[in-house]
């Protein structure tokens, strides 16, 4: 698990790649070990796992499809049903 999750959007695969590259360089400049990275070959969704922080960088269509904000929010349907029964 991580202490924080950052979700960002790039306008294109090139932009997603550039954002992820900058995050990786920032980790190195800050003295952190090299983060684990997934998704760079396609750059629709790049995940940068820097240990305490996980960064997701999406193209807009992919971000909308996966909708991580909703999945990690307190408004998930399972939680709403549990609250209604209480």
Per-residue pLDDT of 30-50, as tens digits, reads: 988 889 999 999 999 999 999
Residue 27 banded pLDDT, cuts 50, 70, 90: very high
56-83 residue pLDDT tens? 999 999 999 999 888 777 655 554 444 4
Read off the pLDDT of each residue in 16-30 and give the average, rounded to a whole number. 95
Pinpoint the alpha helices (H) of 1-86.
Answer: 13-29, 60-66, 68-71, 77-85
Burial class (CB in 10 A: 0-12, 13-18, 19+), 74: exposed
Question: What is residue 74's predicted lDDT score, i.e. its pLDDT?
Answer: 62
Question: Would you say residue 8 has pLDDT above 50?
Answer: yes
Task: Kindly list the domain boundaries of the chain, sorted by start residue.
Answer: 4-85
Residue range 4-85, CATH number: 3.30.460.10
Question: Would you say residue 84 has pLDDT above 80?
Answer: no
């Amino acid at each position: 698990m991580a202490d924080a999750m950052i979700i960002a959007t790039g306008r294109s695969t090139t932009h997603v790649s550039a954002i992820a590259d900058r995050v990786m360089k920032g980790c190195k400049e800050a003295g952190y070990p090299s983060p684990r990275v997934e998704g760079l070959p396609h750059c629709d969704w790049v995940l940068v796992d820097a240990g305490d922080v996980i960064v997701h960088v999406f193209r807009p269509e992919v971000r909308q499809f996966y909708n991580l904000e909703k999945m990690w929010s307190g408004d998930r349907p399972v939680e709403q049903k549990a609250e209604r029964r209480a």
